């Protein structure tokens, strides 16, 4: 919940210029609903794509305060984030709700960035794999693998300054890859798995060197156009 319309416009004018020559990664930005339209205008014709932070599962109707898939398309969105830990934590979104949202997004032709991750309590109790397995299998029930990205965001590393070690990130990403393989067979290899959890310009190089880390879901560090651009321009392992 950051950036007014004016702040979004200012941010993007700086950011789009900073990443205009990047052609080897996909760049997606997800401003709040109120700034989607102006963001769509600012990134038009650039290499930056637009995403929404959430979605509702109906196309229209008496659902006060919600935003439909068609509204997101109308604002210029190509993707939507679903199942973010903050939606699960603060708004009590259960796996069945996440699944309904994913189905609605895919029906509308939106790319889905599907988030999973465990809390500190769950990790310390040795329940990480159990939580991830439940969230993946229930969230992706009856979901096709096309136009799907999965993001692993350990809740204990979001906005805390803590980051999963490379070994912790790779271990969970590899497990997610295995789960996706069980669901989709060989098609799972085409699904990108992003890491999200206090990603910064200082740690992105080492995280991206992990075999099964295919990108980053960036939070606080994306609020500054310079730091976000540095993350996007990470140094690849040779």
Question: Is 210 domain-assigned?
Answer: yes
Would you call 79 a catalytic residue per the annotation?
no
pLDDT tens digits for range 29-45: 999 999 999 999 999 99
Q: What is the DSSP string of 78-121?
A: SEEEES-HHHHHHH---HHHHHHHHHHHHHTT-EEEEEE---HH
What backbone phi and psi angles, to 5 degrees, belong to 198?
60, 45
CATH label of the domain that carries residue 16: 3.20.20.70
Residue 107 lies in a domain: yes
Sheet arrangement for strand 148-152: 27-29, 48-52, 79-82, 111-116, 148-152, 192-195, 215-216
* Per-position DSSP letters for 174-220, written without gaps between them: HHHHHHHHHHHGGGGGGSEEEE-SS--TTTHHHHHTSTT--EE---G
Decide if 152 contacts 169 (C-beta within 8 A): yes
Distance CA 32, CA 218 (A): 15
| pLDDT value at residue 237 | 60
Catalytic-role residue among 84, 93, 122, 135: 84
Structural domain harbouring 142: 5-232
In a domain, 238, yes or no: no
Residue 197 has a pLDDT of 87
Say if 175 falls within a structural domain.
yes
pLDDT recorded at residue 164: 82
**What's the average model confidence in pLDDT over 69-95?**
97
pTM for the predicted model, two decimal places? 0.95
At residue 151, does pLDDT exceed 70?
A: yes
- Residue 160 reports pLDDT greater than 80: no
Q: Residue 35 contacts by C-beta under 8 Å, 6 or more apart in sequence?
A: 3, 4, 5, 8
Q: Supply the pLDDT for residue 8.
A: 98
Phi-psi region of 99 (alpha: psi -120 to 50; beta: other; left: phi over 0): alpha
79, 86, 78: which is closest to 112 by C-alpha?
79
Q: Out of 42, 93, 122, 153, which one is annotated catalytic?
A: 153
Residue 183 lies in a domain: yes
Clarify whether 84 is annotated catalytic.
yes
Question: What digits encode the pLDDT tens for the residues 121-147?
Answer: 999 899 999 999 999 999 999 999 999
237 within a domain of the structure (yes/no): no
Span 101-128, average pLDDT:
96
Number of domains in the chain: 1
């Amino acid at each position: 919940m950051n950036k007014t319309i004016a702040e979004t416009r200012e941010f993007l004018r700086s950011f789009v210029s900073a990443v205009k020559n990047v052609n080897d990664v996909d760049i997606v930005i997800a401003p709040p609903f109120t700034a989607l339209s102006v963001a769509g205008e600012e990134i038009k014709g650039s290499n930056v794509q637009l995403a929404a932070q959430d979605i509702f599962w109906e196309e229209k109707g008496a659902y006060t305060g919600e935003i439909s898939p068609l509204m997101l398309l109308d604002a210029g969105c190509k993707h939507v984030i679903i199942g973010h830990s903050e939606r699960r934590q603060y708004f009590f979104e259960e796996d069945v709700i996440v699944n309904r949202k994913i189905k609605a997004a895919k029906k509308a032709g939106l790319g889905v960035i599907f988030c999973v991750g465990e809390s500190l309590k769950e990790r310390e109790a040795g329940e990480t794999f159990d939580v991830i397995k439940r969230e993946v299998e229930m969230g992706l029930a009856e979901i096709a693998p096309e136009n799907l990205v999965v993001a692993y965001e350990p809740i204990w590393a979001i906005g805390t300054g803590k980051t999963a070690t490379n070994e912790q990130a790779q271990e969970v990403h590899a497990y997610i890859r295995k789960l996706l393989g069980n669901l989709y067979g060989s098609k799972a290899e085409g699904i990108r798995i992003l890491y999200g959890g206090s990603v910064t310009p200082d740690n992105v190089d080492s995280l991206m060197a992990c075999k099964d880390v295919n990108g980053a879901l960036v939070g606080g560090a994306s609020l500054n156009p310079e730091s976000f651009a540095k993350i996007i321009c990470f140094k690849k392992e040779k």
